[in-house]
Amino acid sequence: MASVTYDRASRIYTPGARPAINQLHLEIEDGEFLVLVGPSGCGKSTALRMLAGLEEINEGRILIGGEDVSHVSPKDRDIAMVFQNYALYPHMSVAENMGFALKIAGVAKEERNERVRKAAEILDLVPYLERKPKALSGGQRQRVAMGRAIVRSPKVFLMDEPLSNLDAKLRVQTRTQIAALTRELQTTTVYVTHDQVEAMTMGDRVCVLKDGVLQQVDTPRNLYDNPANVFVAGFIGSPAMSLFKVARDGQDIIVGNDRITIPDNALQKTEADEVILGVRPEDMSLSTDGTGLPMVVDVVEELGADAYIYGSPEGINTFQPLIVRVEGRRPPAKGETVHIKPAAEYVHLFDVNTGLRLNGEIPENTPEAQLADVEALADAEE
Ligand SMILES: Nc1ncnc2c1ncn2[C@@H]1O[C@H](COP(=O)(O)OP(=O)(O)O)[C@@H](O)[C@H]1O
Ligand SMILES: [Mg+2]
């Protein structure tokens, strides 16, 4: 068991080009389940491989259990990695696959068998110990890959999209099992996924990355309720938060023929005469008296209990269609004009120039905060 620290660590594959990981500063607690999430190519695997020692660190440091491991070889870092493709040895049985790392490490046969047996019990693999990987289902292979990591009792588990080869239903079951298992073992885990639902359901905290830069690291609840910037707001949540520009007038925003006063002088932080308004589908309702923002319904998605309506509000520049959750039994029809009203207490406002959050609780780990840190550091070095 150990904490993990990325101390302004960067990975620059091509000198002069944008770093794949840019001054990542992240402290992961002992026993924590931390998820790294972001779109494809944002640097998740690179960040994990830096921690594993498989990728050089060009700036900064990485610490495991308080010890600087930046120059420690992968085999001496006491970590175990679970990959997307499982990387099982096809000619070995399940038991041999699970015990192989222990054998290499010179652990005696009896202890090896005992540890493999224990892991197999935890993972429901006892009946399959003598089988070869090809005689297993995808889910069972995934569990063998987990078992291989568990038998080593490492300080940290590193998992790179370990569920992406499973079908949707199995993925949902397995994510619950993995989260429960690592919590039971109290082993610090860094888990990579591009799937924000997986991130939100599994992580104690979730770290959102974009273009190699940390956007926000927070609990799932806070990411959802207080996204630090427009990117996090649009990335976390399904269906997505609607984001569109609205006019501001002093401390008010103008939404169609409605006016919402924003508390705490939050709008003082910007001089622009527009702000980006973000509203989650469940935080908008349809008005019956013609107030609010007129919108023509383009698509109605019926889900039984609820329905989602998608549309483009009149005269407003949206990033994506606007999405409103409505009662499932009586959704409006396609082509109909409705009037929508955001719930004033749940609106998210972002600076039109920087994309940073303006109202409510402002999370600490914004790129701006990181930038300020970086500048402070540069000043201190001068
Ligand atoms: N070995 C490499 N050499 C050069 N560029 C690389 C290498 N590996 C990854 N990259 C680049 O670094 C960025 C981050 O990649 P990666 O960490 O694999 O992202 P993710 O896992 O989030 O999809 C991408 O732009 C990718 O093309
Ligand atoms: Mg990857």
Pocket test for ligand 1, best of 6, 12, 36, 45 (most atoms within 8 A of CB): 45
Which ligand is nearest to the Cα of residue 49, counting in written order?
A: 1
* CB of 285 closer than 8 Å to CB of 309: no
Per-residue pLDDT at 366: 67
How far apart, in whole angstroms, are the C-alpha atoms of residue 176 and residue 330? 35
If you measure from the C-alpha of residue 148 to the centroid of ligand 1, how many angstroms do you get, rounded to a whole number?
Answer: 26
| Alpha carbon of 74 to ligand 1 centroid (Å) | 19
How far is CA 176 from each of CA 116, 218, 328, rounded to the nearest angstrom? 22, 20, 29
Q: Whose CA is nearest to atom 25 of ligand 1?
A: 41
Closest CA to 56 of 75, 36, 72: 72
Q: Which helix (H) or strand (E) holds 23?
A: strand 21-28
Rounded Cα distance, 138 and 291, in Å: 53
CA dihedral sign, ordered 69, 72, 74, 79 = negative
Q: What is the mean pLDDT of each run of 10 residues along the chain (382 residues)?
A: 94 95 96 97 98 97 97 95 87 95 93 94 94 93 92 95 90 89 92 96 97 96 96 95 94 94 95 96 94 94 95 80 93 95 96 94 73 57 50
Q: How far is CA 131 from CA 104, 136, 141, 150, in A?
A: 21, 8, 11, 19
Please report, in angstroms and rounded to a whole number, the separation of the first and last CA atoms in the chain: 38
User: Residue 40 C-alpha to ligand 2 middle, in angstroms?
Assistant: 7
Pick from 139, 149, 216, 146: nearest CA to 173: 139
Q: Which-ligand-closest: CA of 37?
A: 1
Give the pLDDT score at 202. 96
Is the C-beta atom of 41 inside 6 A of ligand 1? yes
Helix (H) or strand (E) holding 243: strand 242-249
- Look at residue 372 in the predicted model and tell me its pLDDT: 57
Choosing from 6, 13, 42, 193 the residue with most ligand 1 atoms within 8 A of its CB, the one to mutate for a pocket test is 13
Q: Which domains does the chain have, with CATH numbers?
A: 4-223 (3.40.50.300), 240-377 (2.40.50.140)
Under 8 Å between Cβ of 291 and 341: yes
Q: Within a 10 A sphere around the Cβ of 345, how many other Cβ atoms? A: 9
Confidence at residue 269, expressed as pLDDT on a 0 to 100 scale: 93
pLDDT of residue 380: 55
The number of residues making up the chain comes to: 382
The closest of 79, 32, 38 to 202, measured between CA atoms, is 32
Note if the pTM is more than 0.85.
yes
Cα separation, 261 vs 247, whole angstroms: 12
Do 164 and 84 touch, CB atoms closer than 8 A? yes
Write the DSSP symbol of residue 127: G
Ligand 1 pocket member 13 (CB < 6 A): yes
Which of 18, 21, 46, 81 has most ligand 1 atoms within 8 Å of CB, for mutation?
46
Three-state SS sequence of 181-223: HHHHHCCEEEEEECCHHHHHHHCCEEEEEECCEEEEEECHHHH
Backbone angles phi, psi at 378, to 5 degrees: -60, -40
Q: Which residues contact 311 (CB under 8 A, 6 or more apart)?
A: 295, 296, 297, 298, 299, 321, 322, 324, 338
Residue 374: its pLDDT value, please? 55
Closest residue by Cα to atom 14, ligand 1, is 43
* 341 close to 294: Cβ distance less than 8 angstroms: no
Q: Please report which helix (H) or strand (E) contains residue 5, including its range.
A: strand 4-11
User: Strand 205-210 relative to strand 213-218: parallel, antiparallel, unpaired?
Assistant: antiparallel
